[in-house]
Amino acid sequence: MKIFLASTSPRRRQLMSEAGFAFELVNPETDEIERKGEPPRAMVKRFTLDKAENASKLLPAASTGIVIAADTTVVSPDGKRVLNKPVSEADARRMLGVISGRTHVVLTGYAVFAIKSGKIAKRHYAVVRTSVKMRKLSSAAIAAYVASGEPMDKAGAYGAQGIGMGLIESIKGSYSNVVGLPMAELLRDLEKKFKLKPDWRNRA
């Protein structure tokens, strides 16, 4: 069955390829605008479902397959704020200062839509929570990491799969969830709910 990955994230593409899935990319073309007072879980769900809905509409007429979409959000240690991608180096330094030496939560929502003859036949949504404890970071360490450029396209201003892995003291829960897609949970749902398994013989 054809898989359509509704994502522009290179990290999600890599995770799906390494898991043994062949897929076609679809840019979901969504405007991720926060709503005042919206809880992080509700925001993640809204963004994820919007991506899946938009991607489904962009498929060729009479398409049949599976659409997979996801959204990852980093929640501040106090649980009150969402730490999105930094808008500047100063913003990245601020975010890293907020999470330094503390535990924060990463939420990734994922949606799987079954498409039959161009119409959505089945929908599934789930969210996975991971707790991440960061090392206590000096101002010099934060400045050096920001200067590397790695934080600038990542929620929370760090990447768990790059240089940023050295900033993490411990992770409770799914590591791949922090990268951008909770693979164990996604694989389970694809198999149980959609009868879809990866081909590990052709793993990228």
Question: Which residues are marked as active site?
Answer: 71
Determine contact, residues 85/154, Cβ cutoff 8 Å: yes
Tokens of 119: 């119409």
Exposure of 117 in the CB half-sphere (CA atoms within 13 A): 0
Q: Write the DSSP assignment of 172-189 as a string of letters.
A: ES-HHHHHT--HHHHHHH
At residue 31, the 3 state secondary structure works out as coil
What secondary structure letter does DSSP report for 166? Answer: G
Determine contact, residues 171/131, Cβ cutoff 8 Å: yes
